[in-house]
Amino acid sequence: MENEQWFLRALRLELSLTQSEVGKAVGLTQGKISAFERGADKPTHDERRAIVDLFVRRAAVRGMEIWILERK
């Protein structure tokens, strides 16, 4: 999926994560994350799920941070 690699990179950057941070969090190397983003490799179902779960958790934390700052 051509759009999948763009979407992965866009989400990672929006959440202020490096490729190394994503890889470490999901048990992959930075090189593997880079390959996914370039379209040189495709994540397995389990790898994709782990990355999505990380992004969802990170987005939830970021949402709470924003909510707390807005309440001040």
Residue 12 maps to which CATH number? 1.10.260.40
pTM beyond 0.85: the answer is no
Question: Which has more pLDDT, 1 or 52?
Answer: 52
41-to-10, 23, 45 alpha-carbon distances in Å: 17, 14, 13
Q: Say if CB 23 and CB 30 are below 8 A apart.
A: yes
- Tell me the residue range of the domain where 25 lies: 2-71
**Confidence (pLDDT) at 67:** 86
With 90 as the cut, is the pLDDT of residue 5 above it? Answer: no
18-66 pLDDT, tens per residue?
999 999 999 999 999 999 999 999 999 999 999 999 999 999 998 888 8
| Residue 50 exposed, middle or buried by CB count within 10 Å (0-12, 13-18, 19+) | middle
Number of folded domains in the chain?
Answer: 1
